[in-house]
Amino acid sequence: MTAKRERLKLGILASGRGTNLQAILNAIDAGSLAADARLVITNKPGALAADRAIDAGVPHQLLNHRDYENRLAFDAALVRALRAVGAEWVVLAGFMRLLTPVFIDAFAGRTINIHPSLLPAFPGVNAQKQAVDYGVRLTGCTVHFVDKGTDTGPIIAQRAIEVRQADDPDSLAARLLPVENDLLVDVLRWIAAGRVGLHDRRVTISAESPE
């Protein structure tokens, strides 16, 4: 007999439109992701992601980074809010702030990020524009553990798409977005099933175990 696995206790951080957040909330709602969204934190007033959380009946807090003296104080507030609701894993779902060790150490090995390129190519902002400007023929998205660098953490999964001759950054981003949404939810399902391991920066994904 296999022991019943606990649902993932998720904190989700988002800065903008929130389609990746929505994909997570939809999967939870549909019963296809064994997780509870304990808290959604947005850092910009008016972010659509906040409306998505509220519409889904998920607790939401706006922590505006501009209200804090510095990055360390902002990150300490994020950690306090997430701990207060018992979040154990954190998803950066379009969260456009660099995090300091105050945050990274608090959720080490339990924070994941979705990035719109095939890392290590095109880290940082405007990854889709970087891909178009460079002229790569393939790009994609990456879900990785967050470490102290910018988009340098251990890679969990990637998916590729073709860059078309006619693509501009917006058309490429639009075609990539649903691929990102699916990949992020898939990775969370693997984590919820206890299949993702991290040892010395090496990620292992174990085979699906029969129910």
Which residues of this chain interact with ligand GAR, rule CB under 6 A?
A: 14, 16-20, 93-94, 114-116, 127, 180
CA angle 203, 30, 63 (to 5 degrees): 70
Q: Which of 60, 65, 115, 199 is catalytic?
A: 115
User: Which one-letter amino acid corresponds to residue 80?
Assistant: R
| Beta strands 89-92 and 111-115, pairing class | parallel
Q: Which residues is 41 bridged to in the sheet?
A: 13, 61
Does 115 qualify as catalytic in the annotation? yes
| Burial 105-116, CB ≥16 within 10 A → b, else e | ebbebbbbbbbb
Cβ nearer to ligand GAR, comparing 26 with 193: 26
* C-alpha–C-alpha distance, residues 65 and 134, integer Å: 32
Cβ nearer to ligand GAR, comparing 11 with 116: 116
**In whole angstroms, how close is the CB of 139 to ligand GAR at the nearest point?**
12
| Beta strands 155-162 and 138-145, pairing class | antiparallel
**In whole angstroms, how close is the CB of 148 to ligand GAR at the nearest point?**
15
Cβ nearer to ligand GAR, comparing 115 with 189: 115
Q: Residue 22 corresponds to which tokens in the numbers above?
A: 């929505």
Q: Which residue is nearest to ligand GAR (CB)?
A: 94
Pinpoint the alpha helices (H) of 11-168.
19-30, 48-55, 71-84, 101-106, 127-134
Cβ nearer to ligand GAR, comparing 6 with 51: 51
Cβ nearer to ligand GAR, comparing 84 with 98: 98
Residue 18 gets which letter from DSSP? -
**In whole angstroms, how close is the CB of 21 to ligand GAR at the nearest point?**
6
List the catalytic residues: 115
